[in-house]
Chain A
Amino acid sequence: MSGIGTGYDLYPTTFSPDGRIFQVEYAHKAVENSSTAIGLCCKDGVVFGVEKIILSKMLVEGTNRRVFSVGEHIGIATAGLTADGKRIVQNARQEAKNYENFTSDIIPIHVLTERLSIYVQVFTLYNYIRPFGCSLMIGSYDEEKGPSLYCIEPDSVALGFYGCAIGKGKQEAKTEISKLKLSEMTCKDAVKEIAKILIKTVHDETKEKEMELEMSWVCKETKGKHKLVPKKLIEEAVEWVKGQENEED
């Protein structure tokens, strides 16, 4: 099988003649194979939503987590190889704890993002370790600074977003997100909007099996702590989405 990068795509230590590192680009492909995750910066916090495909009826609800807490005040949502995501979250938790032990302050989100970026980048340098096959969205809420959302891709680029999507349906999701007025939205509204995008726009019922919604938030209401959105709110959001569908029909 010969593809675009043949010959230059064996190791991350080789540049192609047109200046690309194919192994890192292939890592992006691994992210694009995974189900979608969305993060939104609202006026009073950050909300994450993940479309989790239920592979088997034997799986316990809530298993196969895709959102994680780092410290108490930062949330991370992953897309791509979940195991890779967990490894980076592990590193993030260590960084946060060490920072706190040393300075007695909680780690600011932009410092953590910077450090994770540097960590991810190291794995794009050598031929004996592969790049991470996952993207992460990192979010936090601070009374003074407001909400912050960053996204780190396998090439280690970290950018700040108002709204972001990663995974299979990221293009459609990003289009929908750009239509939203995020600066006026509360987190409760965002829960509904994210549910709508994931259920209606991104999830293809004909092609894929059932999905489960995993949502979490860091906002004024949770007093700046990262928590899973209460089950009741998610159920209400799903009901609301179904209601919207009926209206449109």
Chain B
Amino acid sequence: MFDLEKEFLYDLNKEVKTGTTVMAVTFKDGVIIAADSRTSSGSYAVNRVTDKLTPVHDQIYCLRSGSAADTQIISSYVSYYTNMFSIEEGSQPTVKKAAHMFREFLYQNKQYLHAAIICAGWDPIDGGSVYSLPLGGSIVKQPFATGGSGSTYLYGYCDMNFKENMTEEEAEKFVTYGITEAIARDGGSGGIVRKAIIDKNGVRRKTVYGNKLKKFWEK
């Protein structure tokens, strides 16, 4: 017998996950990161305007996918340590350092966590960098990275369209269209596209609202 109440409550009590699409891409002057804005709990959209672009330091951001609680707590730990280290050392932290701190937390606690992170930013030593930290706690430096449930729909798109040393405009189009496509195809992704451009001058945040998202094949 289908119990509406029981089914509905079960759904609401499911762990809050960011079924998600996130992307980070290096371009000539730095990195551009982008994400959708849906946080879901089962089939209920807990937040349709989530900000998944989480600052770790002035010019280092992370993109969170997987369990919302797990990724939030870890990025707050890494933010704490990068701040402490940069004060102790008197110099700006590198993206490499922040990414490796993420790795330490993700790997050492892998039994308890369901978290995947993309750590991206700009530092004076390596310029723009993107590090992908998937579920098991490994770390890979890449020219671009995608993550979340919607990223499965973007492998072909990214492989065909990515170029090294893109201009800012090209890179912005690349990520915006990517997230838009994933929102269209993935049920776990939706809402608006949030972007951040990180280069030597700092961080510029942009948003593309739902009605402005480009329509592709479907009308």
Contact = CB atoms under 8 A, between A and B. Distances in A.
A201 to B, nearest CB: 37
Interface residues of A, number: 9
A110 B91 CA distance: 12
Interface in B80-127: 81, 85, 88-90, 94, 96-97, 100-101, 104
Contacts of B81: 102
A105 B88 contact: no
Contacts of A110: 89-90
B101 A103 contact: yes
Nearest to B85: A103
Given A110-B89, A111-B88, A111-B89, A105 B94 contact: yes
A114 B90 CA distance: 12
Interface of A (DSSP majority class): helix
Interface string A93-107: 000000001111100
Interface in B30-76: none
A7 interface: no
Contacts of A103: 85, 97, 100-101
Nearest to B97: A103
A104 to B, nearest CB: 4
B89 A102 contact: no
B88 A104 contact: no
Contacts of A108: 89
A102 B100 contact: yes
A104 B89 contact: no
Interface in A6-65: none
12 contacts: A101-B104, A102-B101, A103-B85, A103-B97, A103-B100, A103-B101, A104-B97, A104-B100, A105-B94, A105-B97, A110-B89, A110-B90
- By Cβ-Cβ distance, the 9 closest A-B pairs, closest first, are A104-B100, A103-B97, A102-B104, A111-B88, A105-B97, A108-B89, A111-B89, A103-B100, A103-B101
